[in-house]
Amino acid sequence: MNAILYSRMHGDLEKLVSAGKIPADFAARLDKFSPANYVMHPEWGVGKVEAWSLAKQRVKINFEKNPNYVMGLKLAFNQLTPVPAGHFLVTCFEDPAGCKAKAEGKETILEFIAFVLEHNLSLREGVEEVLEMQPEDLEKFLSGRVIAEENWKSWWEKARAAMRDDPRFRLPTKRGEAIVTRNAASAAEALLSDYSDATTLESCVRILDQTRLEILNGEYEIAAKLVKAMEDDIERDRNEPQHVLELIIIRDDILEGTHGKDAAKQAEFDAALTAAGVEKLTTLADKLQSIPSEDLVTYVGELSVARQNAVYTALPEAYPDSWLAYTTNIFLFGGARATAAAADFIIAKGAKEQLFADIANGISRQNLSPDVLIWVCKERNGLAKELVDKNKMALGSAVIAAIEKDSADGGPNRALRLRNLLMDDKELAPDLVSGISELEARPFAKSLYDSSVLPDLDRNLLLANMMKVHPSLQEVVLSRVQVKEKQNLYVSLRSFAARKAEYEDIINVRIPKNKHDLEITRAEGDLRENGGYQDAKATRQVLMRRSEELSRLLSQAEPTDFSGVTCEQTTMGTQVTFETDKGQKVVYTILGAWDSIPEENVVPYNSKLGTKLIGNKVGDSLRLPVEFGGEQVKMTITAIEPAPKALIFPDEA
């Protein structure tokens, strides 16, 4: 801990204290504003007190951005913050050229950063300690003072790279952590120390990911101790299965890379492992056997592609008879990062026919995730060409259905990437109707034109591209345009309130927060490899597109409480009870365009199922699924009642 050192009390104050005119404790505080001391102004930066007059209550201060400024002593006392003489800011003030030279020198940059970190003394009165600094703190104090603002990003990249390779520094593994200086004989020793200090497996993985594992080459004793620590964590699990998988993969990389292909070095490393107590190692297949299928989908989907491939390679060993089912589940439900890697593995293993059969089934049922549909569309002329050629008539409608379902669910806009692909890939829509007849292309054109989630301009551009393949599709537009112009979206009061609240939250809370996140992450540098910045940038696109969509939908919507509904036949605002031939009762509720609750059989009036339900009376029979996505069975309407108010009206605040 560094003591905060101030000069001996100014002579003018000593006289006043001796004469009993001011208390000693007040004089001690006032002495911090006496000549030769340093202060901080929120706008003008650091300043050195050049002179003062206690009689006139004036003080002259030479600020960085306002030299030789004269101000009232009382105002200075209330507005300025004293800066200890040992603070790095004082050194930057007194020797700006020297600090700049050290900061920019290849041999001295780390010396300068260490000095700053070790001399960031607290500015709080009575607190004598060195404060930790995060990367954004360095930018706050050094950008524009030591490093030109326009050069900050490039300088920070050099500084970060230099610190990463120096054992004296530990860089933060996530936002909010500080840069730490420590004593370590080597980078390998520093890595082992950092790993041992980590409190969660997630932080262990981040530390290992941030480090170049080449530093362990030749450091067999330290590498063996690290492997032992990792194996202990793998066995304990700590209820972090995803990170256990990552630790196993990283550990195997260490075991393979530390000695290379040199037999003598391997023997030396093996001896070090034995000395460290490393015996039987947990394999990736061992761990995979202990993870339920539904959990594995989530965990693998969040791994990098390289680590996913390691998991896929181990699955046949873990599940010789069911690896295909596990990998297919990851492909279907693992998310954007998992889709392509899982498909590549399945196809490479010779199981393409089964994979394509599952995808074709999903296309016909319109229940594929946007991520799977994106893969299919992107690979329409590559790996998935055979699949697409056989399912073109249904694929386009499946794409529109996925986009509309995402909008109806009001979720995190998982289909935004699919919608962007449909718009950005100018050949996609034409490709989906080429090779099939105009009659077969009509359902896709109709679903596209009737879509309520695509802006008019986007919809018209897509249809225009499709008309290049089938000019007669223009009839679809002409036959529906008059109806479309007069069409309103009827929505329940509950769903309207929810969409309005989401819109206000995006505009007033999430977009401002995202703007702040972009500013913070941009300051971390290296935007191409800056995961936080890329995430914030992607989030901005989602928020802007979602806000535009919600604004348009809210302007089209007509909220209603369905109070004028009669129960003579099924219509919006009614709850319909069906009974199957086996006596099983099934209840459907028909509500507004935004009221989709599949697990409760609540359907929008303008959905395919909702359209089928409307216009029937008690005694009429329909073929419907007992559960969403299930097989259709014959059912008879036994009752028509008003929809429950709980589904129509918003919750009371």
Edge to edge, the sheet with strand 602-604 lists 602-604, 585-591, 574-580, 632-642, 621-625
pLDDT in tens, 267-285: 998 899 999 999 889 999 9
Which pLDDT score is estimated for 18? 84
Which pLDDT score is estimated for 159? 94
Which pLDDT score is estimated for 629? 56
Give residue 69's pLDDT band: very low, low, confident or very high (50, 70, 90): very high
- How many angstroms separate the CA atoms of 417 and 115, rounded? 47
**Strands 169-170, 180-181: pairing kind:** antiparallel
pLDDT in tens, 161-190: 899 888 889 888 888 889 988 887 788 888
Which pLDDT score is estimated for 486? 47
- How many angstroms separate the CA atoms of 466 and 441, rounded? 9
pLDDT in tens, 556-608: 888 999 988 889 999 999 999 999 888 889 999 999 998 888 888 899 998 88
DSSP 20-65: TSS-HHHHHHHGGGSTT-EEEETTTEEEEEEEEETTTTEEEEEESS
pLDDT in tens, 41-52: 999 999 999 999
Name which of 113-127, 282-296, 449-463, 482-496 the model is least confident about.
482-496
What single-letter DSSP state applies at residue 471?
G
User: In Å, how far are 36, 37, 39, 98, 378 from 62, measured between CA atoms?
Assistant: 10, 11, 10, 19, 63
Which pLDDT score is estimated for 482? 47
Which pLDDT score is estimated for 105? 93
| Sequence letter at residue 23 | P
- What is the pLDDT averaged over residues 483-508? 81
477 has pLDDT over 70: no
612 has pLDDT over 80: yes
pLDDT in tens, 72-98: 998 999 899 999 999 999 999 999 999
pLDDT in tens, 5-24: 334 788 888 888 888 888 88
Name which of 53-57, 138-142, 311-315 the model is least confident about.
53-57
Element (H, E) at 625: strand 621-625
- How many angstroms separate the CA atoms of 224 and 375, rounded? 42
DSSP 363-394: HHHT---HHHHHHHHHTTTTTTHHHHHHHHHH
| Sequence letter at residue 44 | W
Which pLDDT score is estimated for 2? 35
From the number of C-beta atoms within 10 Å of its C-beta (0-12, 13-18, 19+), residue 619 rates as: exposed
- Provide the whole-model pTM: 0.61
Which pLDDT score is estimated for 532? 65
Mean pLDDT rounded to a whole number for the chain: 87
Which pLDDT score is estimated for 3? 36
- What is the pLDDT averaged over residues 437-463? 83
Which pLDDT score is estimated for 487? 57
User: In Å, how far are 146, 369, 449, 479, 582 from 455, measured between CA atoms?
Assistant: 50, 22, 10, 19, 46
pLDDT in tens, 237-256: 767 888 999 999 999 999 88
pLDDT in tens, 374-429: 999 999 999 999 999 999 989 999 998 888 877 665 554 556 788 889 989 999 99
Residue pair 140/131 in contact by the 8 Å Cβ criterion: no
- What is the pLDDT averaged over residues 623-645? 84
Q: Measuring CA to CA, which residue among 196, 290, 281 is closest to residue 242? A: 290
Which pLDDT score is estimated for 492? 92
Phi, psi of 586 (to 5 degrees): -135, 135
Element (H, E) at 92: helix 88-94
| Sequence letter at residue 51 | A
- How many angstroms separate the CA atoms of 22 and 503, rounded? 60
> Tokens 């069975």 — which residue?
633
Residue pair 147/103 in contact by the 8 Å Cβ criterion: yes
Percent of the chain with pLDDT over 70: 92
60 has pLDDT over 90: yes
Which pLDDT score is estimated for 63? 95
